[in-house]
Structure 1
Amino acid sequence: MIRKRTVSTAGLGVGLLTALAGLAAFVPIQASADDPIQVGAPIPLTGPLASDGEVMRQGIRLAVQDLNEQGGLLGRELEITEYDIGDLTPDKLQSAASNLIERRNVDVLINGYGAMGPDIPAFCPYDQPYIHNAATPNVTDMMERMNCSNIFMATDLGGAFGRIAFDQMLEMGHDFDNNRIVILHGPYDWELDKAEGIAFSAREAGWDVAMTEEVSYGTSEWGGILSRIRGHDPALVVIELLDPDAVWRFVSQLRDDPPANALVYTGYTGSMPAFGEFASGGDADGVLGMTLSAHDPDSQEGQAFMESWREAYGEDPPYSIAAQIYDHVMIWANAVEEVGDVRDFDAINRTIHESEYEGLTGSFAFNEYRYVYAGSDLPPYLLQIQDSEVRMLMRNAEQLRDAVGSSWLD
């Protein structure tokens, strides 16, 4: 039987209250003890995040394949039920909850990120564990107000990653021409939170944050913004926008008439497969990006993961979210094995919260707010395009290779 908790909506915005409304009255599929365990995957398979959504799909499939090859979970096979959440709007997230939980009766929800807000009122009313990556102060506050005990963010807050990323850029060995930075960011909480983290660390380091501006998804012409950027003559240009096509257009147009000696940092978008495909065409060497955490290609576990990914998909795993979402599945599977009952959601949620899991990307220990801290135990990576490929530059504070200047620098 589907159990749905009553949650407090006091203090939530109109948009999120709308997302709570209209729960469809589906008749759920009733599973027997012999039926496959159902892994629900609400992931973006269309829209600007589709290339990363495909990586999420591949990572979940590989984890489920590995579990099934080991005899399944509690002696039962696992199956995946996907739902396309597209551009991450509240209605898409609520529809995902209705379809995956109310109709399909899945046992867990796994994704990389689910709109950084609207996913909380969509999935919080249920008991099934929901593991994702999009932690922001707004999300953690909402979870506390709604008393969400089933939601886990397997990453740190966006602002923490912003502060770490700026510190990494200062330590990567590049001689910046001046101490001026320009920051562009998208409208999502994650983008704003990370941009604010970068700005905070920049000011702490004595830099001048010369310009901050919100930009839109789907932007194709950047002339006016680039003109204002050039007027500030920055040494570092930051764009935090989870839209690979728009960010690549920005980089391409900036490259045609760049600020003198400016490096460009593209945030998490720089790790997405679609952005890497653009970069492979050349003339983007030196552009920086990041990923929240990734497999270590020098470790035995990382090499085994890379080999499994190559066998399954014929290419290396992207740095964006491949290993992270594999870990998400395994965090849940480990808790299920410990509890011994895939439908004892309360016990599974307690076990995830109270246990520490050693995964491909690092160590996961969820704090009281149900997210994890980035650092030496779960290291973020600074990336850079070198020789037309996305390469790891720094692992937390550890330098992995020498930085290069942008291909358009004097």
Structure 2
Amino acid sequence: MVSHSKTSRLRKVILGTAMATIFASAPAFADVVKLGLLAPLTGPAAADGQEYQRGAQMAIDEVNAAGGINGHTFELAIGDVKDQSASNVTSAVERLLGDPDVHFMMTGYASLSNFEIDNMAEAEMPYMLAATSQQTKDIIAPAPDKYGCCWSLTPSFDAYNTDVTSFAEKLAADGKISLPTKKVAIISSDNAYSKTISEGMKKTFTEKGWTITVDEIVPFGEVTDWRSILAKVRENVPDLIINTDYLPGNSASFLNQFLEQPTKSLVFLQYAPSVPEFVQLTGKNSNGVIYNLLGGALTTPKNPRAAEVAGKFKAKFGVESGTYGVGLYEIANVYFDALKKVGDPSDHAGIMKALGETDKQTAQGRLKFDPATHLAMQGDDYIPITFFQIWDGERTLISPAAYATGEFKIQPWMK
């Protein structure tokens, strides 16, 4: 495997040779600029990877149809990160960094630990990602000036750690559910995203006086049988059941098996229900399920941009967009905005600076970056945490109240 430093040097040699050829032969710029996409097109997260590709391609098709930018048109170059292992992510990153026509890189999530940020910084490659924002913060916050390359569409995950507790307690305070025991069962998967959130949740629930009756973690990857864990849940029935495994197939299996012998517990599933595949796998069993998002499309009358983008996505691909179809569309457009401002796609320093200066309304809310962490700013005036509930395959935004398009309804198994 080629080392990171060798990859960077090789890229600079290739790029230098390519630029010399361009200047010698006439046009100042290449006709086609490649946007590199890191995506799990195969493996357990392939449903998300397909969304990445569709969202990014939709943005590229629109810009090309409008005549491009400064004489450039664009195409997508994809690196399949497969199962998101370090070796597969590194291979995809190095292949794209070795292509002198790639001038911007993007992903929803690639490695989950986001170690590839260091590769982008070394190669001086503009990079925008989402998800696992705690890992992004941990890498960038100690030396933000070192990482001018890299920016996150997703805000801090702190709200994931705290707001499910507040959400459940508010439902009880409003008389919509009862919490007679303040017991919670928390199940997670052994990956950076799920574990970071579940550990934060456990801390918050404990601080607020809840009792954790089940604390289980499953190996990362496909999980088809949850029955032994669910048996533990049923032995000491909790008021609230949480599963932070983000893979839609796993989450669907969990819900289907829970409903074989349900308890009168509020069920919260992290992220997975936002993926269209989840409803396909659960059908009517998904009715009532609750999930939340940081950086999800904010389809409310207060943010017409989200409905516009979601409508275009469905018209083009014939399916609803999950989080990442809309997300990658917006990431690509943030790059196009930066390029319009800078002019030259090979001016990576200028592009990176322009990315960091972004302040615009997106499908996710107002996007502006925190200069200390390079994360999107979080809050009702920026990108809020949103709670959704599924009924008959439709997702209704139920919190926060300022953006809600409907109200919480009691889950069928709680009646």
What TM-score do you get using the length of structure 1 for normalisation? 0.87
1:107-122 correspondence to structure 2 within 5 Å: 107-117=103-113, 118-122=115-119
**1:92 pairs with one of 88, 92, 98:** 88
Alignment size in residue pairs: 391
> Tell me, what secondary structure is at the counterpart of 2:258?
helix
Aligned to 2:163: 164
Determine if contact 2:121/2:150 at 8 Å carries over to the other structure: yes
Displacement of 1:360:
2.2
Name the CA distance, whole Å, in 2 between partners of 1:331 and 1:130.
Answer: 11
Structure 1's 296 and 81: CA in aligned 2 closer, same or farther, altered over 3 A? same
Q: What amino acid is the match of 1:402? A: E
Aligned to 1:300: 304
Displacement of 1:201:
3.4
Question: Would you say 1:386 and 2:391 are equivalent positions?
Answer: yes
1:1-400 correspondence to structure 2 within 5 Å: 20=4, 23=7, 28=14, 30=18, 32=22, 33-103=29-99, 105-117=101-113, 118-144=115-141, 147-172=146-171, 174-178=176-180, 179-216=182-219, 217-259=221-263, 261-279=264-282, 281-292=283-294, 293-298=296-301, 299-318=303-322, 320-367=323-370, 368-376=372-380, 377-395=382-400, 398-400=403-405
Structure 1's 396 and 161: CA in aligned 2 closer, same or farther, altered over 3 A? farther
Name the CA distance, whole Å, in 1 between partners of 2:208 and 2:141.
Answer: 33
Task: For residues 335-378 of structure 1, give each alpha carbon's deviation from its aligned partner in whole angstroms, at most 9, with x where no partner exists.
Answer: 12112221111121122223323222211221111112322121
Displacement of 1:241:
0.9
> Tell me, what secondary structure is at the counterpart of 1:107?
strand
Displacement of 1:28:
4.4
Structure 1's 225 and 251: CA in aligned 2 closer, same or farther, altered over 3 A? same
Q: What amino acid is the match of 1:67? A: V
Name the CA distance, whole Å, in 2 between partners of 1:23 and 1:207.
Answer: 50
> Tell me, what secondary structure is at the counterpart of 1:176?
coil
The range that moved more, 267-276 or 309-318, is 309-318
Name the CA distance, whole Å, in 1 between partners of 2:6 and 2:273.
Answer: 37
Displacement of 1:246:
1.4
Q: What amino acid is the match of 1:192? A: K
Q: What amino acid is the match of 2:153? A: A
Name the CA distance, whole Å, in 2 between partners of 1:151 and 1:142.
Answer: 10
The range that moved more, 290-299 or 370-379, is 290-299
Structure 1's 65 and 380: CA in aligned 2 closer, same or farther, altered over 3 A? farther
Aligned to 1:6: none
Name the CA distance, whole Å, in 1 between partners of 2:189 and 2:402.
Answer: 27
Q: What amino acid is the match of 1:211? A: V
Determine if contact 2:129/2:153 at 8 Å carries over to the other structure: yes
Determine if contact 1:392/1:401 at 8 Å carries over to the other structure: yes
Structure 1's 355 and 316: CA in aligned 2 closer, same or farther, altered over 3 A? closer
Name the CA distance, whole Å, in 1 between partners of 2:135 and 2:368.
Answer: 21
Displacement of 1:18:
10
Determine if contact 2:255/2:285 at 8 Å carries over to the other structure: no
Percent identity (aligned): 21
Determine if contact 2:396/2:405 at 8 Å carries over to the other structure: no
Structure 1's 405 and 305: CA in aligned 2 closer, same or farther, altered over 3 A? same
For structure 2, list consecutive stretches of 5 or more residues without a partner in the other structure: 23-28
Determine if contact 2:188/2:243 at 8 Å carries over to the other structure: yes
Name the CA distance, whole Å, in 1 between partners of 2:237 and 2:62.
Answer: 51
Structure 1's 219 and 102: CA in aligned 2 closer, same or farther, altered over 3 A? same
> Tell me, what secondary structure is at the counterpart of 2:412?
coil
Displacement of 1:22:
7.6
Name the CA distance, whole Å, in 2 between partners of 1:302 and 1:358.
Answer: 10
Determine if contact 2:300/2:405 at 8 Å carries over to the other structure: no
Greater helix content: 2
The range that moved more, 83-92 or 389-398, is 389-398
> Tell me, what secondary structure is at the counterpart of 1:68?
helix
For structure 1, list consecutive stretches of 5 or more residues without a partner in the other structure: 1-16
Determine if contact 1:185/1:214 at 8 Å carries over to the other structure: yes
> Tell me, what secondary structure is at the counterpart of 2:124?
coil
